[in-house]
Amino acid sequence: MIGFLDSGFGGLTVMKEYLKKYPEYDYIYLGDQANAPYGPHSTERINGLVLKNVEFLIEKGCKMIIIACNTASADALRVVQQKYKGKPTILGVLVPAVEETLQKTRFGNIGVIGTRGTIKSNAYARELEKYSVLYTPTEKRANEKIKVYQQACPLLVPLVEEGMIKDTVSRMMLKKYLRPLKHAHVDALILGCTHYPLLQKEIERIMGKNCTVISSAKAAADAIGDYFRNHPDVEKQLSRKGGRTYYTTDCPERFSNLGSKFLGQKIEGIKVDV
Amino acid sequence: MIGFLDSGFGGLTVMKEYLKKYPEYDYIYLGDQANAPYGPHSTERINGLVLKNVEFLIEKGCKMIIIACNTASADALRVVQQKYKGKPTILGVLVPAVEETLQKTRFGNIGVIGTRGTIKSNAYARELEKYSVLYTPTEKRANEKIKVYQQACPLLVPLVEEGMIKDTVSRMMLKKYLRPLKHAHVDALILGCTHYPLLQKEIERIMGKNCTVISSAKAAADAIGDYFRNHPDVEKQLSRKGGRTYYTTDCPERFSNLGSKFLGQKIEGIKVDV
């Protein structure tokens, strides 16, 4: 069983990418709707929530857990990885996006957008720095290092959740948030929040042809093939009956209505567990 | 001691009005920032949070508690009032606004704006109906009943919290949300959320001269004088040393920065309590 953990239904954009590539596995999704959004919470509180929710997924039999929330990945991944020491495997969504970005950027000007929590944690900038050896500068710029430009976009989550994806207001806010990144000539932009893939087309339009937009959701699913090849022992433990189970800690109706948009298919039989 | 309970710092707009009128009392404010916003939570979850937080304020010695959050007042006020049976006195912010509105409306066309939680609870409409005897229709319309038009405005809280009070985007969203209420010719509009007083001027401008805008924060403070006159025993129990204590359950920095704007004065010495 593969478990997904998110603060709400946003992580369903990550699960959607997994289901496309690996439909055969059994999946369980836990949306911590009762404590959503994680964005404005303190690191301590996020760590506590993630620990509790990871325990829930382990009890349900998950042999692999994906922390699908960027804010939670940024803050709590290391804490839970250290606690469980590989049993089960716990992965986040930051590193795959970081690796893909470093391979795709041409000039090393990298933009990151996310919630206040994700940006404040500085986790993307830290990981980009850590893996920066993956960036191959052009000969002319051989000695140049990567430059990271971060931008918190706190209004995008509520706008997406209100279904205002093609609304003038969303376009105005996107232009406002992306202006400094365009100005800095970023040529690769990480969508560091599970909600942003729903705005990806508009973001690409605003950023223009010279900027590659990387969805952390898609990057996470793309990276898992390599992970399975390198860890066949983990892959072997995963059950393959194509099962899907959805849990939410509050508001199942809202989870179902909005979640179905994020997953791209109707969600039925949601279970509530506190 | 008078206690204020809110999901975050929004309730400080209510406390601000109290401090203006009754600076002599001791006040304690509890912002449940760890579980903010209450708007999207289920009724069961809100009831549980309010019960826990009321207990905290009682332990701190509060003889009177104001549930300053509209969502919490709408959902949980009756539950805690029934549990504590007047010891201590627990008041909400809905009824004062409802009473003032029914006295001020000329034609009985009443608008209510609030979070999804407040509007979905239907609490304002229910209370307006319950107290509708307070409305005196003009002779011509003697047999006409009040009509209530409700509108959820989920983006206003994040816009205010981002400090985008005078921004074009806020104006656009306000126009969008208020359009159906203008169309219905409401002549009294209740600001049914603690954040909205910060947008009151713009709301009044959009609604025009023929509509009275009632702030639930101000109405609650205005009503307390009458309450004290009718319940001198309660008033006598309140300590009067002009003390102010602020508690938050998470993110004291954010509470201090944003809260100071809501209170209209700097907040210092915030205590964190989970």
The predicted-structure confidence for A78-90, as pLDDT tens digits, reads as follows 999 999 999 999 9
**Residues in chain A within 8 Å Cβ distance of B159:** 155
- The predicted pLDDT at position A83 comes to 96
Q: Name the percent of chain A in helix, strand, coil, to the closest 5.
A: 50, 15, 30
User: Does residue A167 belong to the interface with chain B, where contact is any CB pair within 8 Å?
Assistant: no
Q: What is the pLDDT of residues A154-199, one digit of tens each?
A: 999 999 999 999 999 999 999 999 999 999 999 999 999 999 999 9
CB pair distance less than 8 Å for B159 and A162: no
Q: Where are the alpha helices (DSSP H) in B23-140?
A: 43-59, 70-84, 94-104, 116-121, 123-130
- Give the separation between CA A89 and CA A73, rounded to whole angstroms: 14
pLDDT in tens, A91-137: 999 999 999 999 999 999 999 999 988 998 899 999 999 999 999 88
B155 interface with A at CB cutoff 8 Å: yes
* Cα separation, B148 vs B73, whole angstroms: 19
Nearest by CB to B173, which of A33, A42, A169? Answer: A169
Q: What integer best gives the mean pLDDT of chain A?
A: 94
Share of chain B above pLDDT 90, in %: 87
**CB–CB contact B40 A41 (8 Å):** no
A178 touching B, CB under 8 A?
no
* pLDDT value at residue A268: 87
ipTM, two decimals, is 0.85
Q: What is the DSSP letter of A164?
A: -
Mean pLDDT of B33-48: 89
Q: Where are the domains of chain A?
A: 2-92+218-272, 95-216
| One fold for A2-92+218-272 and A95-216 | yes
Q: How far apart are CA A53 and CA A34, in angstroms?
A: 12
Contacts of A90 (CB under 8 A, 6+ apart): A54, A64, A65, A66, A67, A77, A80, A81, A84
* Residues in chain B within 8 Å Cβ distance of A34: 41, 45
Does residue B163 belong to the interface with chain A, where contact is any CB pair within 8 Å? Answer: no
Assign domain B2-92+218-272 one CATH number from 3.40.50.11540, 3.40.50.10790, 3.30.300.20, 3.40.50.1860: 3.40.50.1860
pLDDT-based confidence at A31, cuts 50/70/90?
A: very high
Residues B34, A45: C-beta atoms closer than 8 Å: yes
- Flag whether pLDDT at A28 surpasses 70: yes
**Number of residues in chain A:** 274
Residue A193 falls in the annotated catalytic set: yes
Q: What does the pLDDT read at residue B102?
A: 97
Q: What percent of chain B has pLDDT over 70?
A: 100
**The pLDDT of residue A274:** 65
Q: Are B116 and B42 in contact (CB under 8 A)?
A: no
pLDDT tens digits, one per residue of B91-116 = 999 999 999 999 999 999 999 999 98
Q: Which pLDDT band, with edges at 50, 70 and 90, does A224 fall under?
A: very high
Span A7-19, pLDDT tens digits: 999 999 999 999 9
Whether the predicted pLDDT of A230 surpasses 90: yes
Mean residue pLDDT across chain B: 94
The CATH code that applies to domain B95-216 is 3.40.50.1860
A211 is catalytic: no
Asked if the model's pLDDT at residue B260 lies above 80, the reply is yes
Q: What is the mean pLDDT of residues A138-162?
A: 89
Q: Which residues contact A191 (CB under 8 A, 6 or more apart)?
A: A97, A113, A197, A200, A203, A213, A214, A215, A216, A217
Among B273, B222, B269, smallest CA distance to B244 is for B269
| Range B249-260 burial, b when 16+ CB lie within 10 A, else e | bbbbebbbebbe
Summarize pLDDT for B71-86 with one digit per residue, the tens: 899 889 999 999 999 9
Chain A residues in contact with B40 by the CB 8 A cut-off are: 33, 36, 251, 254
- How many helices (H) does chain B have, and how many strands (E)? 12, 10
Q: Are residues A162 and B154, on separate chains, in Cβ contact within 8 Å?
A: yes
> Quick check: B274 pLDDT over 70?
no
